[in-house]
Amino acid sequence: MTKLIYSVLLCHFIAAFSALGMPLFLPMVIPTLGTNIDAQWIGILFILPTLCTATASRFWGLFADKYSKRLSLLRAQVGLTAGFVLCGLATDLPTFVIGLIVQGTFGGTMAASNSYLSSQISDRKKLGQTLNKTQQSARLALIVAPISLGFTLSSLNPLNAYLWLAILPLFAFALTLHLPKDQPVLSERQKDSNNQSLNNDSGNAQNNGQLSKIIKPSNIMVQLYILQFMFAFCMVVTFPYFAPFAQSQSIDSSTMIGFLYALPHLVYLLLASVIHKWSTTSRRILLVGFTTLAISNLTHLLPYMSSLIVARLLFGIGIVLCFHGLHQSLSHHFSKANSGRVFSRFDAMSKWGGVIAGLCASYVSGFGYLSVPFIISSLISFLAVLMLTYTFKEWEQHVIDTKFAHR
């Protein structure tokens, strides 16, 4: 099982390396297509694959549940490869845009990887820890890819880089072919329907019993989707204009700005593997996580270099706690029969949160308010704390204490 997990994580990392690395260099790519467009349009191209992934996620989730999680993962890897090949072969902007659309619509390796892992890992607590590791691979790619590609693109045509990077998801595809297949699982409704056809009366009684068990956890899933959206928004809204914000704080060194930007991701890489040792409820972890995010965002506004370093460290700790709380609760409240839909929707909420956060940051920063994204992130974080405290009542009864869940 360990070999399977790390094989999937390796496949996810090399796919994420391609998908997360190149968007940063779009301002270098567009001029090679013989066109000049406004910076606003570059921003739209930046989020276009994410929009397509969020829009197509529901369909691919249904596809995974009906046919196979592994088949859906293979699809995502082929989709990335095809999208990168189209971008690399593009000689004009429309062809390049089609490549981005294909990349986003047929990609989505995060949701596909998590869905496949959920079909192979029966221990729910271990699954929650593994979901943290998929985020680790994404964070590692987010750090390594821009640095590696920055060196490479200095001597390589950016469009040719797309063709070279297309090899990576293709390699992941070859590795995934050697992973064990999964079989579609009957949903609770399908099981109830089968039982009812054998015995109408007992089937009806069982169906009523199943419904009473399913209703409240389904409410929790909706709440998890909302929290995932809010978390992604809180995190991403501070990203796009961090460099000019740091410069407004009298930080002139690009190396220091890059270090401060990457610091929360480094914190995640260091702590994500040990955070599961904290034995408490997912709800409490999320309460602490969102509170830490709120405090860290306000700490960014203090006019001291030392306070900015503390703020970035706290921001990283908040990210670790929120991811862990969300993953632990998610791993305990989904059915294997519809895991494709669950993980696709969960990932889609993250994508939508990121897209809306990026648009929000772009709008407020257009007025020169570089500190406002941190204030907005803090307010949304506090709103999440209030919702967890006063609104999401079901969590008190249904969120599983990780200390006792698997005794």
Domain identity same for 237 and 380: yes
Structure token digits, residue 98: 């089609």
**Residue 247 in this model has a pLDDT that exceeds 70:** yes
Structure token digits, residue 146: 């821009």
363: closest CA among 221, 237, 227, 230? 237
Neighbours of 288 (CB within 10 A): 18
| Residue 191, in any domain of the structure | no
Task: Return d(Cα 121, Cα 306) in angstroms, integer.
Answer: 43
251 against 75, higher pLDDT? 75
- Which pLDDT value is given to residue 183? 73
Q: 184, 213, 240: which is the final residue of a domain?
A: 184
- Which pLDDT value is given to residue 330? 85
Q: 178 — alpha (psi -120 to 50), left (phi > 0) or beta?
A: alpha
What value does the mean pLDDT take over residues 324-350?
Answer: 83
Q: 150, 184, 218: which is the final residue of a domain?
A: 184
Q: Mean pLDDT lowest for which of 174-188, 309-323, 363-377? A: 174-188
3-state secondary structure 62-86: HHHHHCCHHHHHHHHHHHHHHHHHH
- Helix, strand and coil content of the chain, in percent to the nearest 5, comes to 80, 0, 20
Q: 136, 158, 184: which is the final residue of a domain?
A: 184
What value does the mean pLDDT take over residues 220-241?
Answer: 90
| Residue 362, in any domain of the structure | yes
Domain identity same for 71 and 208: no
- Contact in structure between 371 and 89 (CB atoms under 8 Å): no
- Which pLDDT value is given to residue 38? 67
- Contact in structure between 107 and 55 (CB atoms under 8 Å): no
| Residue 189, in any domain of the structure | no
| Residue 288, in any domain of the structure | yes
What value does the mean pLDDT take over residues 274-284?
Answer: 82
Domain identity same for 117 and 165: yes
| Residue 73, in any domain of the structure | yes
Domain identity same for 176 and 90: yes
Determine the length of the chain: 407
Task: Return d(Cα 176, Cα 64) in angstroms, integer.
Answer: 15
Per residue in 73-125, pLDDT tens?
999 999 999 999 999 999 899 999 999 999 999 988 988 998 888 888 888 77
Share above pLDDT 70 across residues of the chain, in percent, rounded to a whole number? 86
Q: Specify the CATH number for the domain of residue 315.
A: 1.20.1250.20
Neighbours of 138 (CB within 10 A): 23
User: Which residue type, as a one-letter code, is found at position 197?
Assistant: S
Domain identity same for 233 and 320: yes
- Contact in structure between 130 and 5 (CB atoms under 8 Å): yes
Domain identity same for 139 and 283: no
92 secondary structure, DSSP code: S
What value does the mean pLDDT take over residues 2-31?
Answer: 84
Domain identity same for 89 and 227: no
Domain identity same for 306 and 177: no
Structure token digits, residue 394: 């079901």
| Residue 192, in any domain of the structure | no
- Contact in structure between 108 and 53 (CB atoms under 8 Å): yes
6 against 212, higher pLDDT? 6
Domain identity same for 213 and 326: yes
Domain identity same for 212 and 257: yes
Task: Return d(Cα 169, Cα 171) in angstroms, integer.
Answer: 5
**Residue 217 in this model has a pLDDT that exceeds 80:** no
Q: What is the pTM of this model?
A: 0.79
Mean pLDDT of the chain: 82
Domain count, the chain: 2
Domain span at residue 163 reads 1-184
